[in-house]
Structures are given as C-alpha cells and as structure tokens.
A and B are shown apart, each in its own frame.
Chain A
C-alpha cells in the first residue's frame, strides 16, 4: 500500500530471526500483517531486488535483505540496474540512481 509498509516488513525481517523464519516458512502469513499490494508481496517473495529498489526501498534496508538471500555484491548492484531498465526510475525515497547505470567499482579493483 505504501513504501512505508514495504520498508517496515523488511526492517522487521532484517533485524529479527523469528521474522526471517516466518518469511521462509509462510511468507503470506507474514505479509498479511502489513498493508502490502500484490506487486509488493510478489517483489518480496521472489525476491525481486530490482523492483524493490525501483519502488523506493532505502538501500540500507535493501542491502541487508539481499545479504539475507546470499546475493553477492556485484549481483546486488546488477539487479538494481536491471530493475531500472525493466521498471523505470526509482519512484520514491532518497536512493535514486544518479550515475546513469555506470559501474563505479569494477575498473578500480585490484587485479585478480
């Protein structure tokens, strides 16, 4: 229903192992405690990191959720870019993409 509740469920999930367990066991039960649209519930259950980013989830909240799903850092950044390509610009919040999709890390890493 709003970015507030979308972020609230992630806030609760990020910091509480019991909520994490409920999310894994019965996410519908968890989502029913919050006012969430079908689009938001789908993005949470998939999880669709790109859509969650476009919906405006604060990166500090979304980053923890991605880590919970064992999504590697480069994949996390890629999924957000793909979200922009698929769904358009970030719709709310203060974590909009401003770098035109440029990768700011790959060229400055140490040689592997």
Chain B
C-alpha cells in the first residue's frame, strides 16, 4: 500500500495549555479543523500514523544530535512536560517496531537516518496526538527533524528525507497516514512569544499549496531566522510532508495567527 493520508498541522504547548485565553471563535474553528483531520485519518483506514515532528530536546541533545531520526519502538511515552501545565496527561502511546524497522531499512537506502527504540514525546507530538488520535489507539511512528540545535539539515535534504519516507511507505503493505507538524513563523518560548509574521506564513503556505519544491527550498536559514524566527526552522517538517506527497497539491483548510498559542495555527492536507 502507500500513504493514504498526508497532512500538516501546527503544534505548540499553548494550544492546550492556554486554550481559554484565545479568541473563542478562532480557537474553536482551529479545533474543528483538527477534528476534521482526525476524521479524515480514521476514514483513510490508516493502520499507523507517521508524525514528522521537530522535537525540542526531549530525546536528543547536542552530544549526539541526529539530523533525522525515526522511532522503532512498540511503545512510547509522553508528554515529558508537566501534565498539569500542558493539560495532557502522561500516557503510553502504541508504536509498531516491526513496521518502523521495515520503513527505516528502506529510508536508509538514500538517507542516513538514525533510529531510536525509546522516545519520549514532548508537546511537538503530544499536542497533535491529543487532537488527531485522542484515544491513542493508532500506532504512532515518530519522526524527528532537528530544527532546534544548529547546524541544521539543509532544506533540500529535508525534501529528500520526505521522498525517502514516501518510497518506504510505498514498499510496505500497510496503509499509513503521515502528518508533518511545525511552525510556520514563530518566536516560541522567548519574550517575543506571540509574535507571528502572517505575511511570511501566507507566502510559505502559497508555495506549500502548490507543492512548489523550488520555492519552498529557496529560503536560507538566515532569512528564516529574520522573518520567521527560530520557530520558522520547523518549515522542514512541512517540506518533508510535501515531498512525501510527491507533487500533490495541498489544501490549507485553516490558517490563523493565535498569539496566545504563540504560532500561526495551520491545518492542511494533500489531495492524494
């Protein structure tokens, strides 16, 4: 089989931790679109969900920082954050080590991906799962792209990683859903938290919708840091998802800056 669903959404701790402080109308519309993503993943018949995330020092540190890593466990746990703070209870999340291994072996044909048999989720994965698989009944295959500890993998390599994931999914019989989760522009966990460059976000999303490889890969990290903040480095997760969609166009169902969530909140899916 292959990928039966490819989507993209935002993550941020504020999405759950500070929910009551957002404009209720905008917040509820965002949550409703996340619910549509959940329903679409269920309707796809997916047997596993790959989450391409940008984890934030929950598992990897600068003593040994992989550019790319795929989880290879039968079980994960998270979130690492204080559950009362994040408002997501710490729990076990099912994985599928055997499926992960088959995917990793294929990805390794073109990308020197790391693997991890244990993995602690942080808000980067736990917040999306809170909305997309709230019963934790779908095996998760966590994937990380280093977007936090420079030097960062070049954008064209993130694209090639997405292509490798697609090829790997094509090589297994299981139905698999894939969601990339990241920025777009944001200055998270700094005094600038809540700053969002909406124009920059919308320009990126136009490129993303067209699945315009050249345009998406044209950003330099210096430009991204200037215009999209350190959170903007997470466009790598969207770019990898776009590459996995292999030229398909994206439908951006929702985009709105929600400053108290510290990110321009996005929900999108590809027309497979």
Which A residues contact B (CB, under 8 angstroms)? 4, 7-8, 11, 14-15, 53, 58-64, 67-68, 70, 73, 77, 80-81, 84, 94-99, 101-105, 108-110
Contacts and interface: CB of A to CB of B under 8 A. Distances in A.
Interface residues of B, number: 42
B148 A60 contact: yes
A59 B194 CA distance: 14
Contacts of A94: 150, 225, 230
Contact of A103 (B56, B85, B120, B194): B194
Q: Which 4 pairs from chain A and chain B are nearest by CB?
A: A59-B189, A104-B194, A60-B56, A105-B194
Given A77-B191, A109-B21, A110-B23, A60 B85 contact: no
A98 to B, nearest CB: 6
Contacts of A109: 21-23, 259-260
Given A73-B14, A97-B190, A108-B259, 12 more contacts: A7-B57, A8-B63, A15-B120, A58-B148, A59-B230, A63-B189, A70-B85, A81-B191, A98-B190, A98-B192, A98-B229, A104-B193
Contact of A60 (B18, B23, B63, B188): B188
A105 B193 contact: yes
A67 to B, nearest CB: 4
Nearest to A94: B230
Contacts of A15: 57-59, 80, 120
SS class of chain A's interface: helix, strand, loop or mixed?
helix
SS class of chain B's interface: helix, strand, loop or mixed?
loop
A64 B57 CA distance: 10
B225 A14 contact: no
A58 B61 CA distance: 11
21 contacts: A7-B57, A8-B61, A15-B58, A15-B80, A58-B148, A60-B57, A63-B13, A63-B188, A63-B189, A67-B81, A67-B85, A70-B85, A73-B14, A73-B17, A94-B225, A95-B190, A98-B192, A98-B229, A105-B194, A105-B259, A108-B194
A48 B234 CA distance: 29
B1 interface: no
B191 A99 contact: yes
B195 A104 contact: yes
Interface of B: 13-14, 17-18, 20-24, 56-59, 61-63, 80-82, 85-86, 120, 122, 148-150, 187-196, 225, 229-230, 259-260, 262
A60 B191 contact: no
Contacts of B20: 110
Contacts of A104: 187, 192-196, 259
Contacts of B122: 64
B13 to A, nearest CB: 7
Contact of A95 (B58, B189, B260): B189
Contacts of A84: 191
A14 B260 CA distance: 23
